[in-house]
Every structure is written in structure tokens, then in C-alpha cells.
Amino acid sequence: MLRLFDAPVYRDWLFWFMLAWAALDFVSVLTLGPPSGLPRWLTALIGAAFFALVCGLVPAWIRLRLRRRRHGHGRMATKER
């Protein structure tokens, strides 16, 4: 997972948060979703992917950037120049 989540993954709360939101969206669209031109399963899959991105991958990427900045990994590149 591009090292966005803490290792081991099953201990990272953000990973479980992402899975929970994706599963909740998938189930809610399958059961209560409005009819559209797309098949209901495809709408549920697209919604789950969107929620995984918004509620999981983007916050994990932000957390990784903040951790790298806090531990000084960003300053090493500027010292070499």
C-alpha cells in the first residue's frame, strides 16, 4: 500500500477506518441507493472506491508527510544542496 499505513497493517487504525467507510458506502448504495443509468453494483463499487480514497488514502498520505517532516526527512535533502 505504498507504505502509507503503519506496519503491520492490521494494527493501523486508519486502515480499518478506511475499510469501514468503504464497506458502509458499499452496503448503503446496494440497499438504499437511488436508481441510475449504471448497475447498482457498479455504483456501489465506485462509491466504495471514492470513500476509500477520501477517508483512507488521502489522510494516510497526509499523515506520512507530517511524520516525515516531523522527523527531519525533508531537511536532509535541503542540506545536501
If you search the block for the grid coordinates 497493517, which residue do you land on?
9
pTM of this structure: 0.67
CA pair distance 3, 6, nearest whole angstrom: 7
Residue 80 has pLDDT above 70, yes or no: no
CA pair distance 13, 59, nearest whole angstrom: 12
Instruction: Determine what percent of the chain is predicted with pLDDT higher than 90.
Output: 1
pLDDT given for residue 2 in this prediction: 60
Q: Where are the domains of the chain?
A: 9-80
pLDDT tens figures, 35-62: 678 888 888 888 889 988 888 888 888 9
